Amino acid sequence: MITYEVTVQIDPQRAEDLQRYLADAHLPDMLGTGCFTAIHLERTGESTFRSRYECAAQGDLDRYLADFAPAMRGDFARHFPSGASVSRTVWTRVRDFRP
């Protein structure tokens, strides 16, 4: 399992706008690419959001990055041209522990 993680720190005055945009438009569009099996939106504090995108295999993430990422990132930049800092990380699941 591959997890693509995107963290956004946003100007506090735009935090609610970002949450609405992610929940109502961006994340449903990301799921619609067919590259992800699940998406999780999380928030910490007033103005930091994390989206975690789960992929079954590296090839799914590679397809997203090649075929969809430029347009999705462009749309985000049009909605939030300033006041947002974005970082991206790719994680590979090593092992699960469950009770």
CA 28 – CA 51 distance, rounded (Å): 12
> What proportion of the chain, given as a percentage, has pLDDT over 90?
100
Fold assignment, 2-92: Alpha-Beta Plaits (3.30.70)
Q: Please write the tens of the pLDDT for every residue from 8-26.
A: 999 999 999 999 999 999 9
What is the SS3 assignment for 58?
Answer: helix
- The structural domains of the chain, with segments of one domain joined by +, span 2-92
Quote the pTM value: 0.92
pLDDT confidence band for 42 (50 / 70 / 90): very high
For residue 76, the surrounding DSSP H or E stretch is helix 69-79
Query: How far, CA to CA in Å, does 88 sit from each of 91, 96, 98?
Result: 10, 22, 27
The rounded mean pLDDT for the chain is 97
